[in-house]
Amino acid sequence: MLTAKQHELLLFIDGRLKESGISPSFDEMREALDLKSKSGVHRLISALEERGFIRRLPNRARALEVMKLPETRPSATVTPIRPVVSAPANDVQEIPLHGRIAAGTPIEALQGTENFSVPSALLGPGEHYALEVSGDSMVDEGILDGDFALIRKVDTARDGEIVVALIDNEEATLKTFRREGSMIRLDPANRQYEAQRYDPRRVQIQGRLAGLIRRY
């Protein structure tokens, strides 16, 4: 029998995979389960893996697969976290597709005026737009070259959020936002790339990652 936290994490991973096909990050899992550190997430994942409920996919960072769901509920009551919004398969929304955005070296962004069809269940409140990902600097967050990033329009960010950051009003990039003293640091999720540091006056937040769509 799974503990309440193990059950809660398993449902969260399963729900995120069904929503976007991408495993949640360790930070997202830690926040969703209200844990104080990532080490608690690692212990829960190891326990689920040992019991055969999930498996780690080889050669893919942060990639998890749900093998089965428990037939019985845990001994403690579980409060659903970030529930999946139900919507008919044909319920879609058209949002602007603003070209390609770098998950590597910044490139010019927010070009183009095409529309992009997105299942309504993938979009929460607020205004959204889509960007096609170019580059591999965010692969450890499960964001791959050619993915379509669904972006919620916001102009502020908290540490640890993946954002669209416009640099010097010319170039944009998709990175994890951090504050470092008086500077803003934009972190990649690929060891081959280095963090980028900017004076806050050079950086404009144009949105926060809300989801991903991958076409096969």
Average pLDDT over every residue of 131-151: 88
Residue 89 confidence class, pLDDT cut points 50, 70, 90: very low
User: Would 75 be classed as within a structural domain?
Assistant: no
Residue 84 lies in a domain: no
Grade residue 72 by pLDDT with cuts at 50, 70 and 90.
very low
Number of domains in the chain: 2
CATH code for the domain in which residue 123 is found: 2.10.109.10
* Catalytic residue ranges: 137, 175
Q: Which amino acid is at 170?
A: E
pTM of the full structure: 0.57
> What is the 8-class DSSP label of residue 155?
S
For residues 26 and 99, state if they share a domain: no
Considering the domain boundaries, does residue 107 fall inside one?
A: yes
Which pLDDT score is estimated for 58?
67
**Domain stop point among 66, 83, 113:** 66
- Domain span holding position 12: 4-66
**Residue 105 pLDDT grade (very low, low, confident, very high; cuts 50, 70, 90):** low
Residue whose C-alpha is closest to residue 138's, from 175, 171, 173: 175
182's CB contacts (< 8 A; 6+ apart) are 199, 200
Tokens of 92: 């879609």
DSSP one-letter code for 89? T
